[in-house]
Structure 1
Amino acid sequence: MGRHNSISTRATAKYPKVYMMGCPCHIIHNTAQKASQIFAEGVGFNVDDFLVDLFYYFDHSTKRKAELADFAEFCNVAYRKAIKHISVRWLSLQTAVERALLQYSALKSYFLSKDESSVRFKRLQKAFSDEMTEVYLFFYNHVLEYFGRLNRLLQRDDPIIVIAHDKMKEFVLLLMSKFVKVLALKDKRLNEVNFTNFTNQLEDSDLQIGYVTHRKVKQLIDNGSIPETTRRKFYTAVRQFFKRAVAYSLEHLPLDDELLKSASFVNFEKRLESNPIQAEYFVTRYDNLLPFSTPTQISRLGEEFVQYQLLNPEDIPQIVWQKALIVNDDEEEHRHYRMDVIWHHIATIKSADGRLKFNMLSKIAKLVLCIAHSNAGEERVFSMIRKNKTPFRPNLALDKTLPSLLSVKLATDEPCHRYNPPASVVQRAGKVTWEYNKEHTRPK
């Protein structure tokens, strides 16, 4: 994606209309990473290093795991294995933080009651001796949910390019609302908000860092466990975290991408906020795929667009809506609809004379829905290759075994241990196995 000599520059040099978006999942992950780095500079707590130390301290020691399990039982918390956090793995940070908090009391009791000479143990003992460590983890547990929610959405396999731009804008606005006053946000575009000005920011007590985090800080102050300077230092670091996250998002997320903005007309729920120019954008950009350039065709496209805006949800059968419904994270408020399913139906609607009512507009919509919104799918394939072609079995044939394994794994989301092959498959597999063994049996 570089500006000088990259795949992006070479592709656009050969075909200027090719669409190069990059991967917003990577950008969101990097946003959290950059914000965490500046937070660590402010308070001296690096969450990445802490979680890595925690995992590797217990990873290869059955004795330590058993001892931690005893401490967990004594502290009346459920024992859970520490999760391995890798800095390049998109969603591992939030999961690892949650796991550490689940058994924080047991971990703290373990490290404060034992004594070892290893450097890693000393670092962990120092971290659990600090009353603010739990506060830092509470803060991360609260704020990383918003990064993870958008990241999970953009990793979906169904086409969501029609809502990608709105969701990224919502994400940046949500980050701003965590530390910026509502009056400074109201009726302004994202790039117009002066979020770095302290007068536009919330007071420490009003910062949106989670109820549990605020309560824990107040408890430590009331108990005299931490001085006031430590509290101010923490809230200053929180502001730096949010400011860095917002600045990085505004700089790197494709918030000004014309293709993403135009693609939103395909979202049926946003049809009244759209205009025909958004559909015409794709006709102009991809004229070889959408040959609707004559004045008559453009006029007809405008008519179809108005008819599309006049559609009511009731004009689409309930069974289509049910088929298109997707609920994210099993939460009703995170629901959305697959627009490929909706437009499959819209493309079949006919007028009174029997002609397709949205002939041109549906073709444009289908082209939009074919554009990838991230490269999460390709990343999954790379991960599968690394898991299958390992140093222990490096000779998987690239034209036989490896693609066969990938084809089987990509064909279904069901875990392999739950797969129950049909009797016909078992029968054919047995026959092939017998023939293979016969051919490879050495003569006596």
Structure 2
Amino acid sequence: PTRKGKQKQSPKKEGEQNESPQNKSTNGSNDTEIQKMNPITVKLFDANHIHHRFLDKGITVGKHSATAGTDCCFQQYNIPWYNCVSFSLDNTFVNMDKHNSLMSRAKEKNKHICIRRYPCHIIHNTASKASAEFAQETGSDLDDFCIDVSYWFAKSMKRKARLEEYCQLCNQNYKTDIDHVSTRWLSLEMATYRILKLFVSLESYFSCETGSQTRFQHLKKAFLCSITEVYLMFFQLIFPLFTNLNKRLQREEPVIYLVYQEVQKFLKNTLGKFVTAEAIVQGGNLDKQLDDAHIFNGSITRAMLTKGPILCAEDYQTMRDEEIPNHVYKEATFVENVKADRQKKEFYCMDLIWGYLTTMKESALISLPRFPYLGKMAKLILRLPHSNANAEWVFGLVCQNKTAFCDSLSLEGTLSSLLTVKV
């Protein structure tokens, strides 16, 4: 790795970022040092693929915002702001769309820029708020409960051995408790499920064992409470509603075109589970709505309806199958959700499909692109981030490399170069 940030990018990659539209994502990974690290990732279209890459770290000091650090990084690599079609910020005010000064500063640089919020964080924060209200009403905090169970048995072979004995006594297979980390959104469901699987054994353990530690007393009280298992079953029932959408948003391939559909489905399922029939408000006056028998269809409408199946088929597929080679479809196909009856769901990576469509020519004699404007528009849409999963992975590497034992790494040189090599 090099020690100067300017030497990390090859001329080819730097040129791509100067010329092609892209999405930028940034996040403040630390707030305890003098210098604040703002890792910047780039999402761009390269070689018929959407790639997410680490660019550099925008260093800010004091009250300077993440936008200022990003602007300095852009100037360093000669990247114009008008090439930044969207800007993602992992910021509470951005996600809440409240007191959003970062958005206004980015708009000053490029008034057409699209400020992207992080739906994974929004869903997580909303669910956490609801869970906090539930904990306040019931006195049972699921996060604290799962963490206490994990910490009680962690790094204690003696306690694990005693739990295994209780599992054998209760005719259950011993399984290690799953650690729950509040910043890992999917771990709470797995931790809850594991506790429910071992609930009888855990209940026997804490009712028979003795201990004066505060954590032990809290767990003993919780497991002796008859309603605790009911609370866990309630959370186990509603978790898939949130985690399934979260998993879809964490796909590596670009699925921005599915976000609206998936969020609408999520909201519909949420209302179906949590909104009672009494809370549904009756619609407006229906007297002005004609019955089907009184609706008159004109001749043009009737003619269009008779041609409906033919027109629908034409709208659904405007190109022949053979116009796109089989190897393109094969490379772009990925399988998901293999069911018990061995049925499979197939999806296409649309960046590969549109990468090929933009290379198609008018004909063998005319070398002009067949879809010049449509291809550019599709690539712009695919550059928009559907979540922050890839960016969070890069942000996590920052914390792993700059630790309390390696706190002397230069932010502008060594650490940034290490991240460039790793990513």
Band of TM-score, shorter chain: 0.5 to 0.7
Question: In structure 2, what residue type is equivalent to 1:325?
Answer: T
- SS of 2:184's partner is coil
Matched, 1:346 2:360: no
- SS of 2:181's partner is coil
Q: Please, which runs of 5 or more residues in structure 2 have no aligned partner? A: 1-93, 282-310
Select the residue among 241, 244, 247 that pairs with 1:149: 244
- SS of 1:327's partner is strand
Q: Would the aligned equivalents of 1:25 and 1:154 in 2 still touch at CA under 8 Å?
A: yes
Question: In structure 1, what residue type is equivalent to 2:278?
Answer: F
Shift of 1:314: 5.8
Q: Would the aligned equivalents of 1:340 and 1:369 in 2 still touch at CA under 8 Å?
A: yes
Counterpart position of 1:394: 407
Distance 2:325 2:143 in 1: 49
- SS of 1:178's partner is helix
Select the residue among 136, 155, 167 that pairs with 1:72: 167
Question: In structure 2, what residue type is equivalent to 1:9?
Answer: S
Select the residue among 307, 322, 325 that pairs with 2:330: 322
Select the residue among 210, 217, 222 that pairs with 1:127: 222
Q: Give CA-to-partner distance per residue, 1:73-129, whole Å, 9 cap, x none.
A: 333333333223233332221121122223222211111111222222122112112
Taking structure 2 as the reference length, the TM-score comes to 0.62
Matched, 1:358 2:366: no
Counterpart position of 2:24: none
Are the structure 2 counterparts of residues 170 and 316 from structure 1 closer, same or farther at C-alpha, using a change threshold of 3 Å? farther
Shift of 1:381: 1.4
Counterpart position of 1:337: 348
Shift of 1:19: 0.6
Query: Following superposition of structure 1 onto structure 2, how do residues 256-335 of structure 1 map, counting pairs within 5 Å?
Result: 310-311=318-319, 315-328=323-336, 330=338, 335=346
Q: Which has the higher helix share?
A: 1
Distance 1:175 1:132 in 2: 24
Are the structure 2 counterparts of residues 65 and 329 from structure 1 closer, same or farther at C-alpha, using a change threshold of 3 Å? farther
- SS of 1:336's partner is strand
Distance 2:255 2:173 in 1: 38
Q: Please, which runs of 5 or more residues in structure 1 have no aligned partner? A: 180-194, 202-271, 274-305, 411-444
Counterpart position of 2:106: 11
Distance 1:41 1:48 in 2: 13
Larger RCO (CA within 8 A; separation ≥ 6): 2
Distance 1:328 1:403 in 2: 36
- SS of 1:326's partner is strand
Q: Would the aligned equivalents of 1:321 and 1:337 in 2 still touch at CA under 8 Å?
A: yes
Distance 2:130 2:196 in 1: 21
Shift of 1:318: 3.5
Are the structure 2 counterparts of residues 199 and 370 from structure 1 closer, same or farther at C-alpha, using a change threshold of 3 Å? closer
Q: Would the aligned equivalents of 1:85 and 1:96 in 2 still touch at CA under 8 Å?
A: yes
Distance 1:128 1:312 in 2: 63
Q: Give CA-to-partner distance per residue, 1:318-373, whole Å, 9 cap, x none.
A: 33223222334655666532110111222233444644322210111011111222
Distance 1:162 1:20 in 2: 17
Q: Give CA-to-partner distance per residue, 1:295-317, whole Å, 9 cap, x none.
A: xxxxxxxxxxx989523556433
Shift of 1:11: 1.0
Counterpart position of 2:42: none
Large movers: runs of 4+ above 6 Å: none
Counterpart position of 1:383: 396
Distance 1:3 1:15 in 2: 20
Q: Would the aligned equivalents of 1:28 and 1:147 in 2 still touch at CA under 8 Å?
A: yes
Shift of 1:66: 2.1
Q: Would the aligned equivalents of 2:337 and 2:344 in 1 still touch at CA under 8 Å?
A: no
Distance 2:337 2:417 in 1: 31
Counterpart position of 2:52: none
Shift of 1:144: 1.2
Are the structure 2 counterparts of residues 7 and 109 from structure 1 closer, same or farther at C-alpha, using a change threshold of 3 Å? same
Shift of 1:376: 2.2
Are the structure 2 counterparts of residues 196 and 20 from structure 1 closer, same or farther at C-alpha, using a change threshold of 3 Å? farther
Are the structure 2 counterparts of residues 112 and 44 from structure 1 closer, same or farther at C-alpha, using a change threshold of 3 Å? same
Are the structure 2 counterparts of residues 84 and 16 from structure 1 closer, same or farther at C-alpha, using a change threshold of 3 Å? same
Shift of 1:407: 4.1
RMSD, matched Cα: 2.9
Counterpart position of 2:278: 198
Distance 1:166 1:316 in 2: 27
Aligned residues: 293
Distance 1:343 1:98 in 2: 41
Question: In structure 1, what residue type is equivalent to 2:401?
Answer: N
Distance 2:270 2:170 in 1: 36
